[in-house]
Structure 1
């Protein structure tokens, strides 16, 4: 079997949306973000987010150390100016009647946009659309962002972990996991284009249910889990609680910034908090603890890459969703290779035991 190894610099991840910043981090002052080991400059022009490869085509100075003048990005090195489309409008050293070379333009991504209070950038045309705008619910949902975290764990490893449910009783025993609920039915996997999903039932320690403190509901409650993975590094999760009728939704987006740096973003929404002041913030803080539990394991791994087709790993039925997600990336990698070579045929990926 041909090996397909994902790292934070894998070219297959160029055809994907990536969260590169929180919305308030992008201002009218240019700033640098990293994606797939490539620097980008991001800024706002007339309120809209713009992004370009962080390199002036004149003498390769980083544009992120420049400034915005009259709505245009000005390079700090020689003052060359670029409009919102990245076209050069002025070369001060040549005067007002300068003949501007046709190649004097900035490299733009395929697209950049904002959603969920985050800024997303797609270097090349993405295989998947961004998650739908109503993913986090309507006005009945309270929404909060969790603390953004940087780690040396590989981005693909983090998604692989998010797709997995068999670690809950062990890694999350101190938070929501149930120690003796070790048997896992991960549900049937539904494949739809470049997405995979599964829905299954599992016990959950629902600390956020006020009826638990009142003694009318047990702490351990049944709930339905729906996870969605895509041919990128953005995941969706919805928990539905039978006893409360509540819904808990999570958007999980990890950014492969550089070879040894991944940034993690998580946005949560719940409709069972009855708009109680401060409760959604407490839930977000609890989710920070959950992430910390994952990182305590993942940051001890010896390798930050993920071999999505390595048969030295043993996969079982409990791993169906993570295996299906790995197969998406195997197929995407093979499709990219086929496009470059003019051939076809994607490897289906690892088997289940």
Structure 2
């Protein structure tokens, strides 16, 4: 099991709180006839499709701890490639070839299953322990009025927490994304307030967006820079849902952004996109738009990968916040709630930033998040 970080007010790819969340483990297309190994929170897992249903287990046989991903699917079971032990879809060991035919198989030989594994939006989702928030809804993905695509899956040294914190932010658009959609008009952050629910936070930014693939804008028939109602919803996990509405165009984009913390040094990023516009369907234009989305991700990584650390702070004193940061602060507070729930406050902490004193507990951190940066 992944251990909590040394300082529990730092959120990174080793934080135990992520065990209680849904993660994208793979695309459905990647899990076919043979077992597949994936890494999550520093641990290897094996994904295998048995009787048409994706199953997940820790990637080790209880016999000699050999990776089960080196095995095969045999007669509807997962067979270890080392000594041939076979496991049923529920994880029960049903055969040990070296012992011959026997019904005396120890219960200790069974594989342990995660709290949840399922498929949705063409992705395989895995929750090691009971998740505190659901898999996000992505209605645009299943709406036939939308064109949909999976962007390039990216592996980065930036942490999942850094990636999500960045994705919740709106004030970096005209600077980080100046070569793509970032318009100077979007520099000022305007939002009506933060909505909260059971395991989520959200707001709608009133901002601006430079369209990159509008032939009518290229022909001078309408402006390239358009008003945008940008809805962002973050969860007690490393998944974010976005809906981009363009009131003057009657266009809508949907984005699902999911980050899997593979290890302390690596995160895998999945980005699903959907769009509805007033233009004729065009496969080439959709492909070009997906490449633009890939470029936008690379622009973010150009900043995040240059950080000397791979965490974000849950200590309000470690950084200077403004009211433009209210959504990302609310998400950090949501994660602080989840962290406190599993660490059973109170506990002592060391100062995170030398110029400030650390809070005495997560409750102090949460109270600070709700007060900080609103002036």
**TM-score interval for Structure 1 and Structure 2 normalised by the shorter chain:** over 0.9
Q: Which has the higher helix share?
A: 2
Q: Deviation per CA, 1:143-184, whole angstroms, max 9, x where unpaired?
A: 001000000001100000000011001000000001354221
- Unaligned ranges ≥5, structure 1: none
Matches within 5 A, 1:1-353: 4-132=9-137, 134-179=139-184, 181-272=186-277, 273-338=279-344, 346-347=363-364, 348=366, 349-350=368-369, 351-352=372-373, 353=375
**Contact 1:254–1:263 at 8 Å: present in 2 too?**
yes
* C-alpha distance in structure 2 between counterparts of 1:250 and 1:339, whole Å: 36
Moved over 3 A (4+): 344-347
Query: Per-residue deviation at 1:336?
Result: 1.2
**Contact 2:186–2:209 at 8 Å: present in 1 too?**
no
**Contact 2:189–2:205 at 8 Å: present in 1 too?**
no
* C-alpha distance in structure 2 between counterparts of 1:129 and 1:62, whole Å: 30
* C-alpha distance in structure 2 between counterparts of 1:161 and 1:321, whole Å: 11
Query: Per-residue deviation at 1:93?
Result: 0.8
Query: Per-residue deviation at 1:296?
Result: 0.6
Query: Per-residue deviation at 1:134?
Result: 2.3
- Unaligned ranges ≥5, structure 2: 1-6, 348-360
* C-alpha distance in structure 1 between counterparts of 2:318 and 2:346, whole Å: 29
* C-alpha distance in structure 1 between counterparts of 2:118 and 2:284, whole Å: 29
* C-alpha distance in structure 2 between counterparts of 1:227 and 1:180, whole Å: 19
Query: Per-residue deviation at 1:209?
Result: 2.5
Q: Deviation per CA, 1:168-217, whole angstroms, max 9, x where unpaired?
A: 01000000001354221243110112100001211110123232123211
Aligned residues: 350
Q: TM-score, normalised by structure 1?
A: 0.95
* C-alpha distance in structure 1 between counterparts of 2:119 and 2:336, whole Å: 29
**Contact 1:186–1:320 at 8 Å: present in 2 too?**
no
**Contact 1:15–1:124 at 8 Å: present in 2 too?**
yes
Query: Per-residue deviation at 1:250?
Result: 0.2
Query: Per-residue deviation at 1:124?
Result: 0.6
* C-alpha distance in structure 2 between counterparts of 1:179 and 1:337, whole Å: 43
**Contact 1:80–1:92 at 8 Å: present in 2 too?**
yes
3-state secondary structure, aligned to 1:43: strand
What is the aligned-residue RMSD (CA, Å)? 1.8
Residues 331 and 7 (structure 1 numbering): CA distance in 2 closer, same or farther, change over 3 Å? same
Query: Per-residue deviation at 1:274?
Result: 3.3
* C-alpha distance in structure 2 between counterparts of 1:3 and 1:95, whole Å: 50
* C-alpha distance in structure 2 between counterparts of 1:109 and 1:74, whole Å: 19
* C-alpha distance in structure 2 between counterparts of 1:339 and 1:130, whole Å: 27
Q: TM-score, normalised by structure 2?
A: 0.90
Query: Per-residue deviation at 1:308?
Result: 2.0
Q: Which range moves more in the overlay, 327-336 or 305-314?
A: 305-314
Query: Per-residue deviation at 1:339?
Result: 8.5
Residues 111 and 183 (structure 1 numbering): CA distance in 2 closer, same or farther, change over 3 Å? same
Query: Per-residue deviation at 1:137?
Result: 4.9
